[in-house]
Amino acid sequence: MRNSFLAQNPSMLWFIALLAVFTIAVTLLSEVTGVGLISTSFVKTLGKTLCLCLVAIAMDVVWGYCGILSLGHFAFFGIGGYAIGMWLMYARTEGIVLDSLAGQPIPPTPAEISDAIGNQIFGVVGSSEFPMIWAFADNLFVQLVMVVLVPGLLALVFGWLAFRSRVTGVYLSILTQAMTLALALYLFQNDSGLRGNNGLSGLQNIPGFEETSQATISILFFLASAVALAAGYVFFAWIVSGKMGSVVKGIRDNEARVRFLGYHVESYKLFIFTTTAVVAGIAGALYYPQAGIINPGEIAPIASIYLAVWVAIGGRGRLYGAVIGATFVSLLSSWFTGGGAPDINLGFYTVQWTDWWLVLLGLSFVVVTLFFPKGIGGAFDYLVRKPS
């Protein structure tokens, strides 16, 4: 079995090997080893990109393999970020508050500490009460469980409702988009308990690591993201190969036929939907400490659509395609919007890429959909001479 799994996925070994080389190279060239060829901020960008690759793989499995175009997986990503962000923010604020209260003539009571933390965190939305959902924010372990549990449960309930009533195709896409919109709108409120549109901030400061430099922290997160990506890749490669993978791909190609063959299609779909949501949550929990800030805008429906765009450009139905798409588009996007691309002077008009990048992205997306449905990853088919 082990042999056949590897034999079915020659790309997996390649991927792991490349990822390992890349990770080691970045680590060696970073500021931690003293070489400093790669700046800390770029290490963070690379680490974030790895997390985006992980969520893109999850998206690829749910869409490219199972045929469910979910426009909600970035919401799960965001939920994971919020779950870990709550602990990061609470623990860090607690440290600050304890420091400031240490000089008092008599030691503070637990209620005073909690009030002061509440004031610090929720003062910005005109409140100082801790909402119910922050009940376990002081406990890292519980919040880590939340990273997995909340997206998983949400996906499970939503998926169960949707698949049970046989909502498929574009209807399902719109429904997932509606869910994402509802979540984003909810989080935008000031009384959502998650600081409204201010979001959670200061997440790059890891409590307990105050003495550690950001360079070291960024490398640690980069390594953790790489490990998570590798693990996610192997896990999904294992899922989509073998018997289960065949059923899942069968559902994508002809759902009714698979159902008539006696498979319980809804269970398979629900499993894939929930599992990928959980992985998306984990990716988000790794992403936002590197980004430093999370706000409801990150969850808006457009983000989930971009996720689908990455997967489509990279090539659906192949895990490395998702990785290529996420890396390529997100890095290119930050290069263009960051002003890295040179402006083109047409004589009568200067094309500024910060303005025109989205137009280019949108149109290239149309071109890819029309002419290269296999995406960039399709090019590998010619390399390995396995036209499919």
Partner 1 sequence: MLRLLSLAVSFWLFLCTALQAQSLQDILQTHADEVQKPSRNSVGVVLDDLVASGLPQVVPFLEGWRDREIVQRSPDGQFFRLIEEGDVARLEDLDSGEMIEADAGAFKDLRPNGGVRRAIGNALVQFQLSDPDIAKRRAAVDAIARSMDVSQLGPLQASVEGETDAELLKKKQRLAGMLVATFGETPEARIEAIDALSGDLSVDVRAVLNTVLATTTKVGVAIPEGVNLAETLEVGADLSADEAYARLVEAELAPAPVTPAQIRAALVANIEGDTVGGVAVSALGSDVARAQAYDRLAATGSVAARVPDANKAEAVADHVFYLEYAEPDPAITDAAREALNDIESRVALSQTVDLGLDALSLASIYFLAAIGLAITFGVMGVINMAHGEFIMMGAYTGFVVQQFVPDYTLSIIIALPLAFAVTFGAGVAMERLVIRHLYHRPLETLLATFGISIALQQLAKNIFGTQARPLTSPEWLDGALVFNDVIAISYIRIAIFVLAVLFLILILFVLKRTRLGLEVRAVTQNPGMAASMGINPDRINMLTFGLGSGIAGIAGVAIGLYAKVTSEMGADYIVQSFMTVVVGGVGNVWGTLAGASLIGFLQKGIEWLNPSNTLAAQTYMILFIILFIQFRPKGIVALKGRAAAD
Distance in Å, CB of 179 to partner 1, minimum: 6
Instruction: Give the nearer residue to partner 1 in terms of CB position, either 143 or 330.
Output: 330
Distance in Å, CB of 305 to partner 1, minimum: 6
Residue 370 amino acid letter: L
How far is residue 292's CA from residue 37's CA, in Å, rounded to a whole number? 23
End-to-end CA distance of the chain: 24
Instruction: Give the nearer residue to partner 1 in terms of CB position, either 26 or 313.
Output: 313
Distance in Å, CB of 299 to partner 1, minimum: 13
Instruction: Give the nearer residue to partner 1 in terms of CB position, either 363 or 379.
Output: 363
Distance in Å, CB of 130 to partner 1, minimum: 18
Question: Whose CA is closest to 266, among 243, 242, 247?
Answer: 247
Instruction: Give the nearer residue to partner 1 in terms of CB position, either 272 or 308.
Output: 308
Distance in Å, CB of 159 to partner 1, minimum: 12
Instruction: Give the nearer residue to partner 1 in terms of CB position, either 151 or 301.
Output: 301
243 by DSSP, 3-state: which? helix
The DSSP result for 50-106, as a single string, is HHHHHHHHHHIIIIIIT----S-HHHHHHHHHHHHHHHHHHHHHHHHHHHHHTTSSS
Instruction: Give the nearer residue to partner 1 in terms of CB position, either 44 or 316.
Output: 316
Distance in Å, CB of 53 to partner 1, minimum: 20
Whether the CB-CB separation of 203 and 29 falls below 8 Å is answered with no
Instruction: Give the nearer residue to partner 1 in terms of CB position, either 171 or 335.
Output: 171
Strand 350-351 and strand 344-345: pairing? antiparallel
For residue 155, the number of C-alpha atoms closer than 13 Å in the C-beta half-sphere is: 32
Instruction: Give the nearer residue to partner 1 in terms of CB position, either 64 or 245.
Output: 64
Using left for φ > 0, alpha for ψ between -120 and 50, and beta otherwise, residue 244 falls in alpha
Distance in Å, CB of 215 to partner 1, minimum: 36
Instruction: Give the nearer residue to partner 1 in terms of CB position, either 133 or 305.
Output: 305
CA distances from 295 to 151, 196, 261, 326 (A): 17, 8, 45, 21
Q: What stretch of H or E contains 351?
A: strand 350-351
How far is residue 388's CA from residue 386's CA, in Å, rounded to a whole number? 6
Distance in Å, CB of 167 to partner 1, minimum: 6
How far is residue 269's CA from residue 323's CA, in Å, rounded to a whole number? 22
CA distances from 169 to 69, 235, 254, 323 (A): 7, 26, 12, 24
Task: Match 């500024």 to its residue by tokens.
Answer: 352
Interface residues with partner 1 (CB under 8 A) are 67, 69, 105-111, 158, 161-162, 164-171, 173-175, 177-179, 181-182, 185-186, 188-189, 191, 301-302, 305, 308-309, 312, 355-359, 361-366, 369-370, 373
Instruction: Give the nearer residue to partner 1 in terms of CB position, either 39 or 369.
Output: 369
Question: Whose CA is closest to 153, among 215, 76, 226, 83?
Answer: 76
Distance in Å, CB of 196 to partner 1, minimum: 9
37 by DSSP, 3-state: which? coil
107 by DSSP, 3-state: which? coil
Distance in Å, CB of 175 to partner 1, minimum: 6
